[in-house]
Structures are given as C-alpha cells and as structure tokens.
C-alpha cells in the first residue's frame, strides 16, 4: 500500500497502535503454566474490544487470532494446549484489520529465568530491525535494507533465516514488495514515499532456513535451534520512517 493522504495515515496509526498495545499486553499476561491458547484468547479479546479482527484468521483462516511460537519454532505457531515453561523463548506475532487497514507487529521475549544466549539473540534481532528501519528511505534500493539487516546479524554472530521475509502491508496483510532479510544484488527495486512495509528480521543461533511442520502452519528449525523476531510496520519517507506500531 502507498498512502495518499493524512486520513489514511491516521487510520493506519490507529490499527498500528492497537496491535502494538495488544502485543505488550499479551507479553505481560504470559507466565509459566498458561497455555498458548489461553494467551491467544486474551489477545483476541483485546482486538475484538477495539472492533478489530485477526488478520491471519481473516486472510488465511489461520487457526488462532495470533501466532505464538516457542523455542525451536520461528513463526506461525498455532495456539493450543502447550503450556509456557520457565526459560522458554516466546514469539508473539499480532496483526489485525481495523476499518479496512492492516498493521503487523511482533516480538520475542523470555519467560524467566533468563539465558545469556537467548538474551543476546533478542538483542541482536532488535539491532537488526533498527538497522533495517534506518536504511528504509524513499529512493533507496530495497536490498540496502536487506544488507543492513544481514550485517547487523552477522556482527553479533547470528544467522539470518533466509526463507522468512519482511513485506508490504496496509491494504492487506501481505503485499508486495518482498523484502529479503539478506542481501541479494539482483534485487534492484527501490522504495518510494508513502509505501507501507514491515521490517521483521528473523535471527537464529544456528539455522539459515525453517521448515513447515505437519500441522501445515508452524515453521521451525532443528532441535536445539532458537529464533527471535521483532517486527514494526512503517511508512517510508524521504527521511526517518514513520513507525506506526510503536506503543504510545
């Protein structure tokens, strides 16, 4: 989506704030012993109270309102009977549609006690997201964003998951362009002012790729692999991008 006026920007900010606050609330609600289904149902109630609907459910008939992935799961984890446990690395991805506009956010966090490797992985992924956002300027090639993300990951000693990408958003949950989280010199497309995209690096301690599990949704790595993801929805400008999923 490319925004054309302030009305559209305000509408995008409304749904952006909603998914950001929902993510924060779900992270606070998470504790050892709660099931991922209970956590998801809590998030669904927050979205419904604001008049929004789950974007993955509306778009793909996903069997949950949000995606909740744990440890070796990187993305699209189905909420269910699995209970959160002490030491788990948890990722929640929240996306919603409100008044015809879509926003997408996500974040990883640890269920105490903390773990040095997991903490470093989260910090590296946050830095990679920040680097990608900084590089996202109108007129610049998309692969400049990709290179910034990859460099930030490599500087911290972690791997970029190559078959998960950032993407366009706004009028639908997933739109063009696809924004790789690693540098590809063949990608010469440029960003333009008003374009709505996500920046969402997926980093791992040992995996370059993930595979789909038998449930047909969950994307995971081999045993022992860990994943972190942080995502913002942004609006590209000629200067600093507008982040619409920053909690107010």
Q: Which residue has the tokens 């903490």?
A: 119
Per-residue pLDDT, averaged over 215-225, amounts to 96
**CATH number for the domain that contains residue 133:** 3.90.230.10
- Per-residue confidence at 181, pLDDT binned at 50, 70, 90? very high
Share of the chain above pLDDT 90, in %: 99
Note the pLDDT of residue 43.
98
Query: Among candidates 137, 81, 89, which has minimal Cα distance to 111?
Result: 89
195 vs 181: CA distance, rounded Å: 18
If you ran DSSP here, which 8-state letter would residue 246 be given?
A: S
DSSP conformation class of 53: E
Phi, psi of 52 (to 5 degrees): -100, 165
The H or E element spanning position 90 is strand 89-98
Does 190 reside within a domain? yes
Burial of 143 (0-12, 13-18, 19+ CB in 10 A): buried
- The residues near 150 (Cβ < 8 Å, ≥ 6 apart) are 160, 181, 182, 183
Condensed to tens digits (0 to 9), the pLDDT of residues 17-74 reads 999 999 999 999 999 999 999 999 999 999 999 999 999 999 999 999 999 999 999 9
Q: How far apart are CA 228 and CA 98, in angstroms?
A: 27
* Within-domain flag for 1: no
Q: Has residue 79 got a pLDDT over 90?
A: yes
How high is the pLDDT of residue 248?
81
How many CA atoms within 13 Å lie on the side-chain side of 138? 14
Domain ranges, residue 174: 6-243
Confidence (pLDDT) at 11: 98
How does pLDDT run across 7-33, given as a tens digit for each residue? 999 999 999 999 999 999 999 999 999
Mean pLDDT value of segment 80-97:
98
| 248 inside domain | no
38 in any annotated domain: yes
Whether the pTM exceeds 0.85: the reply is yes
Instruction: Provide CB contacts within 8 A for 84, sequence distance 6+.
Output: 30, 31, 32, 33, 34, 35, 36, 39, 70, 90, 111
167 found inside a domain: yes
pLDDT at 102 over 90: yes
Average pLDDT of span 231-240? 98
Residue 170 lies in a domain: yes
Tally the domains of the chain. Answer: 1
């Amino acid at each position: 989506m490319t925004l054309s006026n302030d009305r559209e920007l305000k509408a995008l900010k409304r749904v952006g704030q909603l998914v950001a606050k929902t993510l924060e609330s779900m992270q606070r609600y998470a504790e050892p012993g709660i099931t991922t289904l209970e956590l998801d149902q809590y998030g669904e109630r927050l979205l419904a109270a604001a008049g929004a609907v789950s974007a993955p459910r509306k778009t793909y008939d996903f069997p949950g309102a949000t995606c909740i992935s744990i440890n070796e799961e990187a993305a699209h984890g189905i909420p269910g009977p699995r209970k959160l446990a002490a030491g788990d690395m948890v990722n929640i991805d929240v996306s919603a549609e409100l008044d015809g506009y879509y926003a997408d956010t996500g974040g990883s966090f640890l269920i105490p006690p903390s773990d040095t490797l997991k903490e470093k992985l989260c910090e590296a992924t946050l830095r990679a997201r920040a680097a990608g956002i900084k590089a996202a300027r109108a007129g610049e090639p998309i692969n400049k964003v990709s290179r910034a993300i990859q460099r930030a990951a490599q500087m911290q000693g972690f791997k970029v998951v190559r078959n998960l990408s950032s993407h366009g958003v706004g009028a639908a949950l997933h739109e063009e362009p696809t924004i790789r989280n690693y540098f590809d010199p063949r990608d010469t497309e440029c960003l333009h002012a008003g374009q709505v995209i996500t920046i969402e690096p997926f980093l791992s301690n040992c995996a370059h790729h993930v595979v789909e599990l038998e449930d047909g949704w969950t994307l995971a790595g081999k045993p022992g692999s860990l994943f972190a993801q942080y995502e913002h929805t942004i609006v590209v400008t000629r200067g600093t991008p507008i982040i619409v999923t920053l909690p107010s």
